[in-house]
Structure 1
Amino acid sequence: MHTVTAIIRVKPGAEHAMRDGLLAVAAHARANEPGTIGYFVSQDGGDPCLFTTYERYADQAAMDSHNGSAVVARFFETAAPLLDGAVTLVMGAELSTTG
């Protein structure tokens, strides 16, 4: 299982737009990407400008398909002016899960 964790900080006032954009990507993945095993979106309770995604892919091809999709490209175009600093990405191989 391939995983990606993204830590995203947006400028004050951009919280709703970022939330809507991330949720749209998650909905698209759920409906159209069988190789995307999970796409989790979180917004920090104490800092609404801070978002985290945790993405789980069946394999490298599924991750590449997701990242190369038109939906993701549109998201990055929309998100770029909202960002407050660089997005931190942590890519890995899942070692353990529960559930």
Structure 2
Amino acid sequence: MFSLVVQMQVRPGRRDEFLTGMAANAAASVREEPGCLRFDVCSVADDPDRFVLYELYRDADAFAAHKASAHFARWRQVAEQVVAGQVNTPGELLVSHTTGESA
């Protein structure tokens, strides 16, 4: 499985816009993309404008389909306005343990 960890720094005062846009992107990704298995948006302690995303896709082709989707294009328009910096770390899921609970 293809995994992606994204660290994002949001411009001061743009947190609510970021969360609205990102929540819509994440929900549409899981709902509309059969290859998107997980899309988590996490805040970072002590920095209200910093976030970490964890995305999990069936494979690299499913991630490519995500990047080609209409909802991702809408998110990119929001991101241009609200995101100050971003670091993407792609990888492969090797081990997973879960209780099945989610937020």
Query: Which TM-score tier does this pair reach, normalised by the shorter chain?
Result: over 0.9
- CA–CA distance in 1 between the matches of 2:31 and 2:90? 23
Aligned to 1:43: 43
How many aligned positions are there?
Answer: 98
CA offsets, 1:15-59, max 9 Å, x none?
001011111011101211121110001122321100111000011
Computed over aligned residues only, the root mean square deviation of the Cα atoms, in angstroms, reads 1.0
Aligned to 1:56: 56
Partner SS state of residue 78, structure 1: helix
> Displacement, 1:96?
1.0
> Displacement, 1:72?
0.6
- CA–CA distance in 2 between the matches of 1:81 and 1:95? 35
Moved more, 5-14 or 42-51: 42-51
| The structure with more strand, counted as a fraction of residues | 2
Aligned to 1:88: 87
2:21 pairs with 1:21:
yes
Q: Name the TM-score, length of structure 2 as normaliser.
A: 0.89
- CA–CA distance in 2 between the matches of 1:43 and 1:11? 14
Q: Name the TM-score, length of structure 1 as normaliser.
A: 0.92
Which runs of no fewer than 5 residues in structure 1 stay unpaired? none
Aligned to 1:98: 97
